[in-house]
């Protein structure tokens, strides 16, 4: 191969690689967060939100069931099982909810209570039972959480056995602690993540083309190459 032919070929490879890189980056799509994601021509405006706060019943005191809470609730209902299968646990033990959500505790074994040990200022959550009062299977208790923050509670008779629970109200996580920032998503850094690979490949191809060009210009063509200019 002659110098001129090689240089033309090397320039064509570098130019073709760079041209291929441009549409690869341009065709990347970014999905925006939220409930209305669109993927081209699709529409996402059909999201339905179900609120269950209005279905709470407050007329069960006669059967030993308790309910309390402020504001009527508008964030739906979550259930915590007390002593499932006779185990000394709350299920789930850690619950994260939005403000206005009603939490209902349902007893599935005997001799348990729900006693708050920590809550945000002004929350006014009293729990169900006391140090000397417990409830048995079939008992239920509900409370609507409006104040954001972290709520911790225990079953006093079984606290030493690890029967504790936590409720976090709001999207900010547990109250009081200094939360670290989440790791950045590469797709939110300004350039679609796949475009980095295309750019690296383009740079490598250009470097290799320059190296080959340098060696051919410095040392000349192979003595075995035949051509009209020899």
Known binding-site residues for Cu cation equal 112, 155, 158, 163
Q: Which of 112, 139, 143, 205 is catalytic?
A: 112
Catalytic: 158? Answer: yes
Catalytic: 1? Answer: no
CB proximity list for 58: less than 8 A, separation 6 or greater: 67
CB proximity list for 67: less than 8 A, separation 6 or greater: 56, 57, 58, 60, 141, 142, 143
Helices and strands (DSSP H and E) totals, the chain: 2, 9
Instruction: Using alpha carbons, select from 63, 87, 65 the residue that is nearest to residue 143.
Output: 65
Catalytic: 163? Answer: yes
Q: Which helix H or strand E contains 115, and what residues bound it?
A: strand 115-118
Backbone dihedral region of 173: left (phi > 0), alpha (psi from -120 to 50 degrees) or beta?
A: left
Q: Which of 139, 143, 155, 205 is catalytic?
A: 155
| d(C-alpha 140, C-alpha 112), whole Å | 11
Q: Which of 139, 163, 205, 208 is catalytic?
A: 163
Q: Which helix H or strand E contains 150, and what residues bound it?
A: strand 149-154
Q: Which residues are annotated as a binding site?
A: 112, 155, 158, 163
Radius of gyration of the chain measured on its C-alpha atoms: 33
CB 147 within 8 A of CB 122: yes
Q: Which of 1, 158, 196, 206 is catalytic?
A: 158
Which residues belong to the active site? Answer: 112, 155, 158, 163
């Amino acid at each position: 191969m002659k110098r001129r032919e090689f240089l033309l070929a090397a320039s064509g490879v570098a130019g073709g690689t760079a041209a291929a890189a441009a549409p690869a980056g341009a065709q990347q799509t970014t999905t925006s967060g939220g409930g209305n994601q669109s993927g081209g021509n699709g529409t996402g405006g059909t999201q339905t939100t179900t609120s269950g706060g209005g279905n709470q019943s407050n007329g069960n005191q006669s059967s030993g069931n308790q309910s309390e809470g402020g504001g009527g609730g508008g964030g739906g209902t979550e259930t915590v099982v007390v002593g499932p299968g006779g185990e000394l646990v709350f299920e789930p033990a850690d619950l994260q909810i939005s403000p206005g959500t009603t939490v209902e505790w349902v007893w599935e074994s005997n001799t348990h209570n729900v006693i708050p040990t920590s809550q945000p200022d002004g929350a006014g959550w009293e729990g169900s039972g006391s140090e000397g009062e417990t409830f048995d299977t079939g008992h239920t208790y509900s409370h609507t959480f409006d104040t954001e923050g972290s709520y911790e509670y225990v079953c006093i008779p079984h606290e030493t056995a690890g029967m504790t629970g936590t409720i976090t109200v709001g999207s900010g996580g547990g109250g009081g602690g200094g939360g670290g920032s989440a790791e950045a998503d590469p797709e939110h850094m300004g350039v679609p993540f796949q475009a980095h690979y295309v750019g690296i490949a383009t740079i490598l191809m250009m470097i290799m083309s320059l190296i080959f060009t340098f060696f051919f210009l410095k040392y000349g063509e192979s003595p075995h190459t035949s051509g009209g200019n020899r």
